[in-house]
Amino acid sequence: MKRPIILVLLIMLSVACSKSEGGEPPEYTATPLSLDVPAFFQENILAPVIPITNPLTEEGVALGKKLFFDPILSADNSISCAECHAPSSAFTDTDRFSDGVNGVLGNRNAMPLFNLAWNFDERFFWDGSATSLEDQVFHPITDATEMANTWDKVISALEASSEYTDMFLSAFGEGKIDSLKVARAIAQFERTLISGNSKFDKFLAGELELTEAELNGRDIFMDETRGDCFHCHGNPNNPLWTDNLFHNNGLDSTFVDLGLGRLTGDPADNGKFKSPSLRNLAFTAPYMHDGRFATLEEVINHYSEGLQNSATVDPLMKKVAQGGVQLTEQDKTDLKAFLLTLSDDEFISNTAFREQ
């Protein structure tokens, strides 16, 4: 308890000293923080998106992390962000649909959270309905199937905590708490969730070798006549392993969930969902926007033989008329072996990303 009090006194003393010098008091500035960007990212993709209205600071990230793991944001103090975005699962949920307050289920699988600062189009969620990480924070807190809270109650609960008022003061220079500051803090923490040290990353860095099966799987992934995966999920020069765009990947011939089409109202967008990153597939089952596939084998079988045709199926599903790319059983095994090399054990065990 002593440390926050000392911090508050130091901030007040800093302002007071500045006033005594006769000028306007300087605006309080928290401690700037730079992302720990892997060298391979720096060499191959654009710089991360850090809004000028929400620069990263040590105090802001610490506050965002505390909020992320605290059930205080939910209506009955029963669930935190981490309930549906567990660090051990690359910040997703092992359940097909997550339990909200009072056990209410959603209708989409929780998306994993990592490398979010490189979502250059700033479209988040499976249907792109959030236009920034800060905007994304607002949805689950008030969604009736998730935290089911109101911002008035959230702010009242946070203001009743001296620890939180001190942390907001140190992060933003004022103890007054509002929804925007909550969103800014959580977004800062989420931008620090960087995954860039998988087996394949180490292979690219020359630190280890891949097996013959893994190398063949990579070739299948990149081969338009076999896996043809790279159009939507990138290539070895794209460490994100997603195009962050929206596609109808042939899951259904008719749609229960319109995806992007529900947002835009354009029938041409029906059945389109965001391409997820292929990083950390070892930890992020089940798969697809509705978690319909429990295993990677099911995912590969879908693209090999299970494609469904529809008016909006993506042109990249070139062999939809044949049901898919028709991989051999050996190709499927090797493709899976390659996909698993994209998983990053160090990311899920990083103590900086876990509740202390």
Give CA 219 to chain center in angstroms: 27
Are 291 and 270 spatial neighbours (Cβ–Cβ below 8 Å)?
no
Helix then strand count (H, E) for the chain reads 15, 2
Is residue 2 pLDDT above 90, yes or no? Answer: no
Q: Which residue has the tokens 């708490």?
A: 177
Which residues are CB-neighbours of 320 under 8 A, at least 6 positions away?
250, 307, 308, 309, 313
Max intra-chain CA distance, the chain? 78
Residues in a beta bridge with 32: 57
What is the per-residue pLDDT across 226-240, written as a single tens digit (0 to 9) for each? Answer: 999 999 999 999 999
Q: Which of these ranges, 3-12, 171-180, 297-306, 312-321, has the smallest mean pLDDT?
A: 3-12
Nearest to 74 by CA among 145, 3, 180, 163: 145
What rounded mean pLDDT belongs to the chain?
Answer: 93
Cα distance between residue 175 and residue 168, in whole Å: 5
CB atoms within 10 A of CB 256: 8
pLDDT at 23: 62
Residues 146 and 163: their CA atoms lie apart, in Å, by 25
Rounded percentage of the chain residues whose pLDDT exceeds 90: 90
Helix axes 151-159 and 162-172, enclosed angle (nearest 10): 100
Q: What is the pLDDT of residues 159-187, one digit of tens each?
A: 999 999 999 999 999 879 999 999 999 99
Q: Reply yes or no on whether the pLDDT at 29 is more than 70.
A: yes
